[in-house]
């Protein structure tokens, strides 16, 4: 006889928000779009195009010819890939990074959860600048870790003095994302150094997520963290291969941290996935060694789209639209309407054939600032679609 009493659910998991991208996809249910006004999906920062053909051919070759691609591998990742990252990162950041400082993960989200699991236990606290990347907040909620929101100003840059005031005996880390998701802003190297000094002085970790680093508009070193002689005591860097090589479904990310930290990360990864995807790692290694020119061209294309977004919102400024941040894949904008963004975003699907995310998905619950903003992920929109975006925004009157 079956019981009508449901099985117990974790309170922390119940109190964690639903995945925003999944929620936004429900707004499309029952909505039809005309041929002359098709949907422009600006909700998710995941390339919709397949990886370059050369990469796919190499992946197929490895799958057929390299039997080791189908076996378990090292928990912390393919040694050759760890070494390649160490060498390229040392050159890019003008620092000293060794292969033993690198771990490979099943995507950057796993890199974050693995690292945070070594830093925090239930009842501990982390500092997240707002607007924040929602998956970072979701991990904290489902693990009983408190989040101290670090409110940013109109420029979306975190303030050092405000961060210092948020640190308590329970604080374990400050988490920065640059170029930022959802804000798009690129944190100045000097500001990142100041946060490093603060974290070091207060003996907490500085975790910096650089998923979108390859699309930074700056040509120089994005920060000086790896030039610090004792960076391993404080710094943890996260990285993703998903966006730069369009390898989202293959799940390859990376952590750069001290070997002592990675020894603890290894426990987590062995428990969760045993090892990263072998085929994907071997392909990522080949990509790092062979696709630098292709990556450079992709960066130019994203920067071209970014410029079109910036120009478009300048033209709409007289209608009350304000671009708060723009970079990498994202624009974070203040809208001019009385309708809150949590209602405006679904409204735009039905009335303008635009799918964007409301700022409420990136802010503390109930914070009024989220209702005035929208996040636009423009990386999948070509210049023609970006032009259509602004034509439609200019016409709407909720």
* 207-232 pLDDT per residue, tens: 999 999 999 999 999 999 999 999 99
* pLDDT (0 to 100) of residue 27: 95
* pLDDT (0 to 100) of residue 150: 97
* pLDDT (0 to 100) of residue 201: 98
Give the domain range for residue 178. 53-290
In a domain, 48, yes or no: no
Give yes or no for residue 65 having a pLDDT over 90: yes
**H helices present in 316-378, as ranges:** 341-352
Instruction: Give me the chain's average pLDDT, please.
Output: 95
Same structural domain for residues 69 and 213? yes
Instruction: Give residue 369's pLDDT band: very low, low, confident or very high (50, 70, 90).
Output: confident
In a domain, 6, yes or no: no
d(CA 328, CA 158): 18
* pLDDT (0 to 100) of residue 398: 66
How many CA atoms within 13 Å lie on the side-chain side of 66?
Answer: 16
Cα-based distances in Å from 103 to 82, 84, 302: 7, 12, 28
Any idea which of 11-25, 117-131, 164-178, 252-266 has the lowest mean pLDDT? 11-25
Same structural domain for residues 301 and 286? no
Give yes or no for residue 309 having a pLDDT over 80: yes
Domain count, the chain: 2
Give yes or no for residue 170 having a pLDDT over 90: yes
* pLDDT (0 to 100) of residue 397: 79
Domain final residue pick, 290, 320, 342: 290
Give yes or no for residue 281 having a pLDDT over 70: yes
Residue 41 in 3-state DSSP?
strand
* pLDDT (0 to 100) of residue 46: 82
Same structural domain for residues 280 and 152? yes
Where are the strands (E) in 211-321, listed by range?
235-240, 253-256
CB-CB contact of 253 with 106 (8 Å): yes
Residue 144, by phi and psi: left (phi above 0), alpha (psi -120 to 50) or beta? left
* pLDDT (0 to 100) of residue 3: 61
Overall average pLDDT of the 150-164 stretch: 96
Same structural domain for residues 350 and 252? no
At residue 375, what are phi and psi to the nearest 5 degrees?
Answer: -105, 130
At residue 331, what are phi and psi to the nearest 5 degrees?
Answer: -125, 135
Give yes or no for residue 2 having a pLDDT over 70: no
Instruction: Give residue 48's pLDDT band: very low, low, confident or very high (50, 70, 90).
Output: confident
Residue 142: CB atoms within 10 A of its CB come to: 16
* pLDDT (0 to 100) of residue 228: 97
* pLDDT (0 to 100) of residue 47: 85
Cα-based distances in Å from 130 to 134, 158, 239, 334, 390: 10, 8, 20, 15, 26
In a domain, 87, yes or no: yes
């Amino acid at each position: 006889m079956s019981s009508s009493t449901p099985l117990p659910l974790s309170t922390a998991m119940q109190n964690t928000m639903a995945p925003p991208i999944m929620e936004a996809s429900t707004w499309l249910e029952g909505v039809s779009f005309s041929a002359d006004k098709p949907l422009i999906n600006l909700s998710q920062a995941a390339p919709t195009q397949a990886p370059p053909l050369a990469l796919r051919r190499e992946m197929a070759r490895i799958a057929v010819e390299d039997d080791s691609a189908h076996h378990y591998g090292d928990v912390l990742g393919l040694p050759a890939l760890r070494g390649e990252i160490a060498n390229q990162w040392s050159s890019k950041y003008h620092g000293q990074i060794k292969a033993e400082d690198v771990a490979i993960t099943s995507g950057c989200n796993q890199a974050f959860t693995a690292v945070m699991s070594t830093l925090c236990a239930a009842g501990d606290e982390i500092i997240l600048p707002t607007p924040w990347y929602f998956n970072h907040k979701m991990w904290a909620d489902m693990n009983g870790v408190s989040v101290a929101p670090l409110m940013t100003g109109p420029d979306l840059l975190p303030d050092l003095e405000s961060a210092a005031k948020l640190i308590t005996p329970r604080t374990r880390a400050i988490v920065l994302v640059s170029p930022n998701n959802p804000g798009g802003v690129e944190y100045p190297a000097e500001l990142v150094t100041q946060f490093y000094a603060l974290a070091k002085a207060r003996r907490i970790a500085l975790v910096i997520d650089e998923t979108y680093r390859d699309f930074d508009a700056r040509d120089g070193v994005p920060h000086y963290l790896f030039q610090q002689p004792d960076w391993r005591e404080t710094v943890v860097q996260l990285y993703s291969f998903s966006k730069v090589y369009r390898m989202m479904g293959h799940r390859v990310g990376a952590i750069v941290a001290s070997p002592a930290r990675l020894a603890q990360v290894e426990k987590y990864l062995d428990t969760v996935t045993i090892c990263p995807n072998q085929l994907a790692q071997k392909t990522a290694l080949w990509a790092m060694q062979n696709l630098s020119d292709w990556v450079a061209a992709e960066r130019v294309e994203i920067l071209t789209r970014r410029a079109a977004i910036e120009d478009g919102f300048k033209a709409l400024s007289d209608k009350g639209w304000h671009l708060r941040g723009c970079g990498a894949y994202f624009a974070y904008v203040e809208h001019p309407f009385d309708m809150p963004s949590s209602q405006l975003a679904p409204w735009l699907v039905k009335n303008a054939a635009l799918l964007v995310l409301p700022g409420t998905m990136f802010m503390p619950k109930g914070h009024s600032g989220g209702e005035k903003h929208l996040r636009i992920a423009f990386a999948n929109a070509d210049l023609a679609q970006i032009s259509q975006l602004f034509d439609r925004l200019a016409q709407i009157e909720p």
